[in-house]
Structure 1
Amino acid sequence: MEPTREVLAGLVERVTFHSDESGFCVLRVKARGHRDLVTTVGHAAMISAGEWITASGVWINDRNHGLQFKAQFLKTSAPSSIDGIEKYLGSGMIRGIGPVYAKRLVRMFGKDVFDIIEATPERLREVEGIGPKRADKITSGWADQKAIREIMVFLHEHGVGTARAVRIFKTYGTDAVQVMSENPYRLARDIRGIGFRTADLIAEKLGIEKTAMIRVRAGISFALTEAMGDGHCGLPRADLIGLAGKLLEVPAPLIESALLEELAGETVTADQVAEADCIFLTGLYQAERGIAQHLGRVRAGPLPWPEIDAEKALPWVEQKTSLKLAPSQAEAIRLALKSKVMVITGGPGVGKTTIVNSILRILAAKRVKLLLCAPTGRAAKRMTEATGMDARTIHRLLEFDPKAVGFKRNEDN
């Protein structure tokens, strides 16, 4: 049974943690109906002590931190109490105001301070120590905060959860409302974690028709992405139109028109595969071609080990492993010993590990330096267990440098 969603409202007493990147925050809130401060976790583009929040979510009992309110939606608004206003202004959220100037502003203008900043900012200079430059800083800082609030309200009104709303704001900044209003399907293309279905729900709330060209164009990429989940890098044109029609519930001629626009915009790419006209997501198409080119480069040139007589090596490895190789396994090993690149595929239990172990034993006997790697740590561990040799992740083998966001090892070293 899912926990009941509740609404929590109150004043932020302390911001325990806030990530500028993701917007994730941990707040201590003086909430209505609660004697003690409530730990609230959620997402906010910006948050500071003194702000008033209205949150919708559920209560959870965290193993390490105890009872918390987990907010799915979190709306902030400027505080209305004198204490809250002073905390908010003194939090450093608005440029040009720290604790000292917060006290002076509240002492001078009381609860009208926000109206003064917005409507008659020239009056800020009535406060001791505030000159033209600081007044301008305060005014622009307040305008930024107001813009962020308006964007978050717009996103919430159109069904966007706070975590996603923060990602949208971080991506588009003050253009977020304009981008969403003009083409919400950009979200699926530009922001990781927001897919077509989410963008489609937002578009529906914005009143965008099912047959709108921006929807159908985005739907073509969506159909190809769905096919990618089934292992396809692309689809025959006819299959794509059929799948897109099924997913989008629009007629084929409309999809044909949208496909032509997507091809012209180079979002997708057309190519022939086995005499069939196929359509690919451009990024995936380029990646696949790049992989093919690199494989061609790697396989070119002489072998990195001396010539090995497979007819002598095969009986030798059978003796060493006490295993009788199947004809297909022996053929795979023969091919491997004269190839720089090889792909071994097959279901569980067909003998892939035996083939790999045999190849490694033969090469090790020839004193070839061997390096084993796998895409994940778990796969590397499994490879070590299966071969008895040290295996590493690809990232570790190529010495990934997080600062440079690249590898120290490449084709040159």
Structure 2
Amino acid sequence: MVIEGVIENIIYQNAENGYTVCSVISKGEEIACVGNLLGVHPGEDVEIEGEYITHHVYGRQLKITSFSKSMPKSTYGIERYLGSGVIKGIGQKTAKKIVDHFKMDTLNIIEHNPIMLANISGISKNKAIAIGEKYKMQYELRSVMIALAEYGITTNAAIKIHDMYQQNTMQIIKSNPYKLASDMHGIGFKRADEIAVKVGIEREDINRIKAGILFVLNEFSTNGHTYAPRDALFNQAYELLGVDITLLENALIEINIDKQVIIKTYDGQVAVFLRKLYYSELNIADKLLTLSYHNKQEPIEFENEIKQTQRELDITLVKEQQDAIKNALVNGVTVITGGPGTGKTTTINALIHMIKKKKEEFLLTAPTGRAAKRMSEATNEEAKTIHRLLEITYNKDANVKQYFNRDKDNPLETDILIVDEMSMIDVYLMEALLEALVTGQRIVLIGDIDQLPSVGAGNVLHDIIESKRVKVVKLVQIFRQASKSAIIRNAHRINKGEYPVSNEEGTDFFFMNRVIQDEVKNTIVDLITTRLPKKYGNLDNLKDIQVLAPMRKGVLGITELNKVLQQALNPPNDLKNEYEYRQIIFRTNDKVMQIKNNYNIPWKVYGMAGMPIDDGIGIYNGDCGVITDITSEKLIVTFDDYKVVEYEFNQLEELELAYAVTIHKSQGSEYAVVIIPVHSGPPMLLSRNLLYTAVTRAKQMVIIVGINETVNRMIDNNKQVERYTNLARHLQNIM
């Protein structure tokens, strides 16, 4: 079926993929059309090929399979086109004036002789010239969008590319599309390489090889490394590019000359760093040592003060806890590390009590919203995320889109900064945090060295401890009350390489043997939907129960588990709206997680009367919430801290379903009940510290479902994936 007509209205358009709902006037009939209409505007003439379908809500629609468009061919179309807002400065009233005056010659006048627009009242000469320039830019943008669509680049991406390169867009695309990979977020090397093939760039082109090496280096960073051994870098680059080693060596030399990398040799091994990562670790080391050189004098009355603190708080502190507090009060840098049940929270509370008595200022912070909330609940003091503490600011017009207001020129106002969940902090965030401190201030770093390292690049807590350059206090004693919990006892058993004890009378740690993967999956669904709510009536199966899986893919990966759990816990019905994005169905009442930092997305908190009582910007990786509504244009999420966020559909790449999450993503969180599927998989995804991290997320109950032999193999596998980092070396080498 082919129709010809004029675009009447754009009802909805997805800027990411071009999906459009619009009405078209064809032979006097208004036809609803749905599908990809890349960059169309009201008033434009279109020829659309498609087939009629019947939507259960919206009725008869033409589902588009292909289309072509041209500029308006009638005065009505021209007026609709100009009045649609496509050219900034022309609204509906101005569009009518222009078309009434110039009739069918309107577009020709705007393109070739825009100064004539000044003959119309309300349009100055400057405005007339500006309209002409904007029209030409819009015409050029339309051509670019159509051209880039052939390379699989979305409408939204094409606009961003054109905004960056302007009239040079197509010249850059054809001569060096690899610039897109370095300049544009969301267009990686592989997409640039596909474009390069289409425009005829040779496989051995130097720009391709340089871009490929930088892509591999960024992949190392994504996997947590701050550098790549040159041999490993070349091996992966060869697999990616398929070019001779000599070409790789020459390209690396050029990248080094361009100052995009730093190359060092350590113990005979050549290490290749992205420049920013090298200096981030160096800056961290330099600042930590600078702070550590300026210690306060040890308090003369400390013994009496610590005894008084214990009486006032009605607690007993063991020697390690007292040492931790004394060092935190005195040293520029103190690390306090320990597993669950070893008294870290009690130590922090006693430290805060003594800081207050000394009338000193302190700040509490943690890397994620959930970790900060836990810290606040445990101390009864305000704790902020690091991003909020450093007052992150977003500037869409600047080259550096986000930055921290708190830095060396505007440092934090405190005597002591206490940082929790240190194992989660990567090098970039640690560098920014230390940048906001000055000599004489003290920092206390608290974390569990045996947890998984940060998702981002670096192994900060581990490297600081390994360097032996700052004071470290290890809390090892498990306290009596904590030792009553099988969760805590088994966490320590796992950490020591011993097998957990489960299914005892009155225990909070269970193992359910299931050999077949589908049986594991079905048991998890049964536990969440039926058995746990039935036995423990006060459990909310959305908020209190969390599935933590070692991997993403496979029958027991989070992708498949989320589909199954969504169907079981939040099945579709006529009262729930839903939206499908990249094969994920988002539905009202779904549990979701933010999976990347978005520093500029606005949020509001509403009071009982439905009026906003707080607002701000920024939602961060790991924040969880529930979809509370889906409209024709937006998806609305209410997060656990009551922040309400409206997502455009093209932002849904930042969300995923969260009935099941990876163990890595659970860091810094606590759940009443944790269910862990353990079946089979590669050794790198079945390790001791992965299981340890999952178990220590639970407050009331752990249930492992799967194969006991696999659980034992995880505990036996203490070979953590090596991270190539340089912080410990910097700390040891700086004098």
Output the TM-score relative to the length of structure 2.
0.44
| Consecutive unaligned residues in structure 1, runs of 5 or more | 1-6
1:155-210 deviations in whole A, cap 9, x for unaligned? Answer: 11222121211221122222211121121111121112222222222222222233
**Match in the other structure for 2:100:** 103
Q: Compared with structure 1, are the counterparts of its residues 412 and 142 closer, same or farther at alpha carbon in structure 2 (3 Å cutoff)?
A: closer
- Does residue 389 (structure 1) correspond to residue 386 (structure 2)? The answer is no
Give the alignment of 1:61-210 within 5 angstroms.
77-91=70-84, 93-94=86-87, 98-106=95-103, 109=105, 113-114=106-107, 121=112, 129=120, 133=125, 139-210=132-203
Change (3 A) 1:70 1:287: farther
Coordinate RMSD, CA, aligned? 5.0
Asked whether the 8 Å contact 1:8–1:32 carries over to 2, the reply is no
Distance in 1 (alpha carbons) for counterparts of 2:67 and 2:240 = 32
SS in 1 for 2:177: coil
Alpha-carbon separation, structure 1, partners of 2:359 and 2:118: 81
CA–CA distance in structure 2, aligned partners of residues 346 and 68 of structure 1: 62
Report deviation, 1:144: 2.2
Corresponding residue of 1:232: 225
Work out whether residues 79 and 88 of structure 1, in 8 Å CA contact, stay in contact via their aligned partners in 2. Answer: yes
Change (3 A) 1:292 1:314: farther
* DSSP-derived class of the 2:8 partner: strand
Structure 2 letter corresponding to 1:382: R
CA distance in 2, matches of 1:98, 1:257: 58
Whole-angstrom distance in 1 between the partners of 2:279 and 2:68: 42
The answer on whether the counterparts of 2:114 and 2:129 sit within 8 Å (CA) in structure 1 is no
Q: Are the aligned partners of 2:12 and 2:21 in contact in 1 as well (CA < 8 Å)?
A: no
3-state SS of paired residue (1:293): helix
Candidates 5, 8, 19, aligned match of 1:13: 8
Change (3 A) 1:402 1:224: closer
Closer, same or farther: CA 318–299 of 1 in aligned 2, 3 Å: farther
Q: Which has the higher contact order (CA 8 A, sep 6+)?
A: 2
Task: State whether structure 2 residue 249 is matched by structure 1 residue 252.
Answer: no
In the aligned structure 1, how far is the partner of 2:240 from the partner of 2:330?
47
Q: CA deviation at 1:380?
A: 1.0
Query: After superposition, what is the alpha-carbon deviation per residue over 1:75-115, rounded to whole angstroms, capped at 9, x for unaligned?
Result: 86422343212222344645686320122222x54xxx545
- The worse-fitting range, judged by mean Cα deviation, of 237-246 and 271-280 is 271-280
Secondary structure at the aligned position of 2:333 is classed as coil
Kindly state the Cα deviation for residue 54 of structure 1 after the two structures are TM-superposed. 8.1
Deviation at 1:129, TM superposition (A): 4.7
Residue 344 of structure 1 deviates from its aligned partner by 4.9
* C-alpha distance in 2 between matches for 1:54 and 1:352: 69
Secondary structure of the corresponding residue to residue 378 of structure 1: helix
Which residue of 2 is the match for residue 407 of structure 1?
405
Contact in 2 for aligned 1:224/1:234 (Cα 8 Å): yes
Q: 1:300 to 1:88 in 2, by over 3 A?
A: same
Aligned with residue 340 of structure 1, among 332, 349, 358? 332
1:374, distance to aligned residue in structure 2 (A):
1.9
Deviations 1:324-354 (A, max 9, x none): 7596x77656654542223456777776556
Distance 1:382 1:8 in 2: 60
Query: What corresponds to 1:49 in structure 2?
Result: 42
Cα 1:247–1:331 shift into 2, 3 Å: farther
Question: Measured at CA, do residues 126 and 339 of structure 1 come closer, stay the same or move farther in structure 2, by a change above 3 Å?
Answer: closer
1:217 positional shift: 0.5
Aligned partner letter, 2:411:
E
Contact 2:8 2:24 in 1 (8 A): no
% of aligned pairs identical?
33
Q: Distance in 1 between matches of 2:264 and 2:370?
A: 37
Secondary structure at the aligned position of 2:334 is classed as coil
Inter-partner Cα distance in structure 2 for 1:264 and 1:105:
58
Kindly state the Cα deviation for residue 213 of structure 1 after the two structures are TM-superposed. 1.5
Match for residue 261 of structure 1?
254
1:312 CA displacement: 8.3
Question: CA distance change for structure 1 residues 88 and 330 in 2, over 3 Å: closer, same or farther?
Answer: same
Q: Which has the higher strand share?
A: 2
Please list, as runs of the form range in 1=range in 2, the aligned pairs for 1:364-379 lying within 5 A after superposition: 364=356, 366-379=358-371
Q: What is the Cα deviation at residue 136 of structure 1?
A: 5.6
**The 10-residue stretch of structure 1 (391-400 or 166-175) with the greater mean CA deviation from structure 2:** 391-400
Give the gaps of 5 or more residues in structure 2. Answer: 396-401, 414-735
Tell me: CA distance 1:343–1:14, structure 2 relative to 1, closer, same or farther (3 Å).
farther
The residue that corresponds to 1:3 in the other structure is: none
Shift of 1:302: 3.0
* Cα distance in structure 2, aligned partners of 1:269 and 1:55: 54
Given that residues 43 and 166 in structure 1 are in contact (C-alpha distance below 8 angstroms), is that contact kept between their aligned partners in structure 2? no
Q: Structure 1 pair 265/399, CA: closer, same or farther in 2 (3 Å)?
A: closer
Q: 1:142 Cα shift?
A: 3.6
Secondary structure in 2 matching 1:342:
strand
Structure 1 distance, partners of 2:37, 2:394, is 28
Q: Is the 8 A contact 1:373 1:393 kept in 2?
A: yes
| CA positional deviation for 1:277 | 2.6
Classify the secondary structure of the residue corresponding to 1:98: helix
2:31 touches 2:61 (CA, 8 Å); kept in 1?
Answer: no
Q: Which secondary structure does the structure 2 equivalent of 1:278 belong to?
A: strand
| Alpha-carbon distance between aligned partners in 1 of 2:19 and 2:297, rounded to the nearest angstrom | 56
* DSSP-derived class of the 1:205 partner: helix
Cα distance change of structure 1 residues 217 and 299 upon mapping to structure 2, 3 Å threshold: same
For 2:271, what is the secondary structure of its paired residue? strand
2 CA distance for matches of 1:230 and 1:349?
31
* Deviation string, structure 1 residues 210-247 (Cα, Å, up to 9, x no partner): 33221111111111111112211112222222222233
Distance of 2:117 and 2:369 partners within structure 1: 63
Instruction: Check the 8 A contact 1:52/1:78 in 2, yes or no.
Output: yes
User: Which segment drifts farther, 172-181 or 339-348?
Assistant: 339-348
Give distance in 2, aligned partners of 1:338 and 1:385: 26
CA contact (8 A) 1:117 1:138 kept: yes
Q: Give the match's secondary structure for 2:384.
A: strand
Report how far residue 117 of structure 1 moved.
Answer: 5.6
Change (3 A) 1:405 1:270: closer
Distance in 2 separating the partners of 1:83 and 1:337 = 77
Distance 2:199 2:141 in 1: 20
Which residue of 2 is the match for residue 278 of structure 1?
Answer: 271
Give me the whole-angstrom Cα distance separating, in 2, the residues matched to 1:402 and 1:326: 46
Q: Deviations over 1:301-338 (max 9, x none)?
A: 233984675798499769957577596x7765665454
Alignment partner of 1:211: what SS? coil
SS at match of 2:362: coil
Distance 1:28 1:36 in 2: 11
Q: Distance in 2 between matches of 1:126 and 1:337?
A: 73
User: Distance in 2 between the 1:262 and 1:99 partners?
Assistant: 55
**For 2:255 and 2:314, how far apart are their aligned partners in 1?**
56
